[in-house]
């Protein structure tokens, strides 16, 4: 547990970088500091490993005042990852990762073995061990940065905008990896970002900073999105916070209709009975493995002769699907919006159709989680 008790940083020129922060970072969880430029995120982060000394207040790690600890030793016990990785350009990838273990006095063989193990953990190829940083992509360099920070297995990991210099696709991949690593390692992570989406994705708790180095709100992501404390936080979390919040609710709660799902051998009159029964304007056609093939517009069924099979009709593309077991309501809503039929198709982990969510049911589910 890391506690900030009235911790402040006021520079000699009068700049208030951090104005009296009171905050507890929980052990084994990911806490994200988010806020506009200049709001004191980096300063707060660096106060934890004494790269910045507070001018007021106290910071403790598991109860111990960090002022009583040797700064160099403290820093070796805390992993630190920054934007563009900050790797040593003239050291190989393996030696970059082995830096802290070597500083801690491990023998070279043990340090390199540990570095090789970490390369695998963060998803780097063993063949890259002997390369130099400039021979890797930006995303790979960030992985090296993470591996290096984890090398001595520190309980605490500080990450200052580690993924902001890579493109959105690579960034999403790195976020995914960090979530996976954290599930395995349970580090106490403090992660700084400008990006509220990244914060919501990674954080167990989110601290929103406002200009002037003040803490505006400290909350679980779903609470932050549901109940921003004031106009500043509300505008910072964005106008689409309602949709974003749906990612915290499982799609599993949706009811799935099977009666509008047909296979290619089913006859038009069967489908017609269903759509005429309750006015559903579309039916979904699947193959023998229940893989979706496409939507048939109900209007097409009206004048077709009985006996014709659905596989012979024109179909609109089925669009996107959602995984009923693992996806969120947000993914289901997205699938509906992206479907030509305006309806979401729920599938199992093999892509077989489990059912279709009607707009009424999707609307009702969204309503039931809104306040
Ligand atoms: N050495 C310094 N002397 C005076 N002011 C400083 C110094 N270092 C930082 N500051 C000021 O402290 C404030 C907070 O800076 P900090 O780097 O913590 O912000 P940040 O939230 O990390 O911003 P960004 O999102 O741009 O990285 C800023 O106004 C900055 O100009
Ligand atoms: Mg910063």
Tell me how far apart the alpha carbons of residues 78 and 75 are, in angstroms, rounded to a whole number: 5
Question: Quick one: which atom of ligand 1 is closest to the CA of 213?
Answer: 14
Ligand 2 centroid to residue 118 C-alpha, Å: 27
Domain boundaries, the chain: 2-248, 251-369
Q: Give the residue whose CA is nearest to atom 11 of ligand 1.
A: 17
Terminal Cα-to-Cα distance of the chain (whole angstroms)? 33
pLDDT in tens, 31-54: 999 999 999 999 999 999 999 999
pLDDT in tens, 19-29: 999 999 999 99
Ligand 2 centroid to residue 196 C-alpha, Å: 15
Ligand of minimum distance to the alpha carbon of 13: 1
Judge whether residue 240 has pLDDT over 90.
no
pLDDT in tens, 104-161: 888 999 999 999 988 988 888 999 999 999 998 888 898 898 889 888 889 999 999 9
For the Cβ of 12 lying below 6 angstroms from any atom of ligand 1, the answer is no
Residue 164: band (very low, low, confident or very high) from pLDDT cuts 50, 70, 90: confident
Judge whether residue 292 has pLDDT over 70.
yes
Could you please report the per-residue DSSP string of 109-176? HHHHHHHHHHHHHTT--GGGTTS-GGGS-HHHHHHHHHHHHHTT--SEEEEESTTTTS-HHHHHHHHH
Supply angle C-alpha 146, 155, 221, rounded to 5: 75
For the Cβ of 15 lying below 6 angstroms from any atom of ligand 1, the answer is yes
Homologous superfamily in CATH for domain 251-369: CBS-domain (3.10.580.10)
- The answer to whether residues 29 and 188 touch, using CB atoms and an 8 Å cutoff, is yes
- Between 164 and 311, the more confident residue is 311
Tell me how far apart the alpha carbons of residues 58 and 43 are, in angstroms, rounded to a whole number: 14
pLDDT in tens, 77-93: 899 988 876 789 999 99
pLDDT in tens, 338-364: 888 889 999 999 999 999 998 888 988
Q: Give the residue whose CA is nearest to atom 1 of ligand 1.
A: 11
Q: Give the residue whose CA is nearest to atom 16 of ligand 1.
A: 40
Question: Quick one: which atom of ligand 1 is closest to the CA of 39?
Answer: 21
pLDDT at 12: 94
Ligand 2 centroid to residue 39 C-alpha, Å: 8
For the Cβ of 40 lying below 6 angstroms from any atom of ligand 1, the answer is yes
For the Cβ of 212 lying below 6 angstroms from any atom of ligand 1, the answer is no
For the Cβ of 60 lying below 6 angstroms from any atom of ligand 1, the answer is no
* Mean pLDDT, rounded, of the chain: 91
Ligand 1 centroid to residue 212 C-alpha, Å: 10
Q: Give the residue whose CA is nearest to atom 4 of ligand 1.
A: 11
| H helices present in 186-328, as ranges | 196-202, 221-226, 231-237, 241-245, 268-278, 298-301
pLDDT in tens, 175-218: 988 999 899 889 999 999 989 999 999 999 999 999 999 999 99
- Burial (CB count within 10 angstroms: exposed 0-12, middle 13-18, buried 19+), residue 272: middle
Ligand 2 centroid to residue 163 C-alpha, Å: 13
pLDDT at 299: 87
Ligand 1 centroid to residue 43 C-alpha, Å: 7
Reported residue count of the chain is 371
The residue among 1, 26, 15 whose CA lies nearest residue 218 is 26
Residues 6+ apart with CB under 8 A from 24: 1, 2, 3, 4
For the Cβ of 70 lying below 6 angstroms from any atom of ligand 1, the answer is no
Residue 371: band (very low, low, confident or very high) from pLDDT cuts 50, 70, 90: low
Ligand 2 centroid to residue 238 C-alpha, Å: 21
Ligand 1 centroid to residue 294 C-alpha, Å: 54
Q: Which residues of 241-254 are buried (b: 16+ CB within 10 A; e: fewer)?
A: bebbbbbbbebeeb
Domain covering 2-248 in this structure, CATH number: 3.40.50.300
For the Cβ of 303 lying below 6 angstroms from any atom of ligand 1, the answer is no
For the Cβ of 53 lying below 6 angstroms from any atom of ligand 1, the answer is no
For the Cβ of 37 lying below 6 angstroms from any atom of ligand 1, the answer is yes
Q: Give the residue whose CA is nearest to atom 17 of ligand 1.
A: 42
Name 188's bridge partners.
Answer: 156
């Amino acid at each position: 547990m890391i506690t900030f008790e009235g911790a402040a940083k006021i520079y000699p020129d009068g700049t208030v970088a951090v104005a009296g922060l009171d905050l507890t970072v929980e052990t084994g969880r990911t806490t994200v500091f988010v806020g506009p430029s200049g709001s004191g995120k980096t300063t707060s982060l660096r106060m934890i490993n004494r790269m910045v000394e507070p001018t007021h207040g106290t910071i403790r790690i598991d109860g111990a005042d960090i002022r009583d600890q040797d700064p160099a030793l403290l820093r070796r016990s805390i992993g630190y990852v920054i934007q563009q990785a900050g790797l040593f350009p003239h050291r190989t990838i393996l030696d970059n990762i082995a830096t802290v273990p070597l500083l801690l006095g491990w023998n070279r063989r043990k340090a390199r073995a540990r570095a090789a193990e970490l390369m695998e953990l963060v998803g780097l190829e063993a063949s890259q061990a002997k390369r130099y940083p400039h021979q890797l992509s930006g995303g790979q360099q960030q992985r090296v940065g993470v591996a290096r920070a984890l090398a001595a297995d520190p309980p605490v990991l500080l990450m200052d905008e580690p993924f902001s210099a890579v493109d959105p696709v690579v960034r999403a991949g790195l976020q995914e990896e960090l979530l996976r690593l954290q599930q395995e390692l349970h580090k106490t992570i403090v992660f700084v970002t400008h990006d509220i989406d990244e914060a919501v994705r990674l954080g167990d708790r989110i601290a929103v900073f406002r200009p002037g180095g003040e803490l505006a709100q400290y909350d679980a992501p779903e609470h932050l999105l549901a109940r921003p404390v004031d106009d500043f936080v509300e505008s910072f979390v964005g106008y689409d916070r309602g949709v974003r919040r749906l990612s915290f609710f499982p799609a599993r709660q949706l009811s799935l209709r099977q009666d509008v799902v047909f296979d290619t051998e089913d006859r038009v009159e069967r489908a017609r009975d269903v759509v005429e029964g309750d006015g559903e304007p579309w039916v979904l056609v699947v193959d023998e493995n229940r893989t979706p093939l496409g939507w048939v517009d109900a209007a097409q069924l009206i004048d077709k002769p009985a006996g014709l099979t659905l596989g012979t009709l024109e179909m609109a593309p089925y669009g996107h699907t959602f995984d009923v077991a693992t996806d969120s309501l947000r993914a289901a809503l997205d699938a509906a919006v992206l479907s030509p039929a305006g309806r979401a198709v729920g599938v199992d982990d093999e892509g077989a159709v489990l059912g279709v969510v009607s707009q009424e049911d999707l609307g009702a589910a969204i309503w039931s989680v809104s306040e």
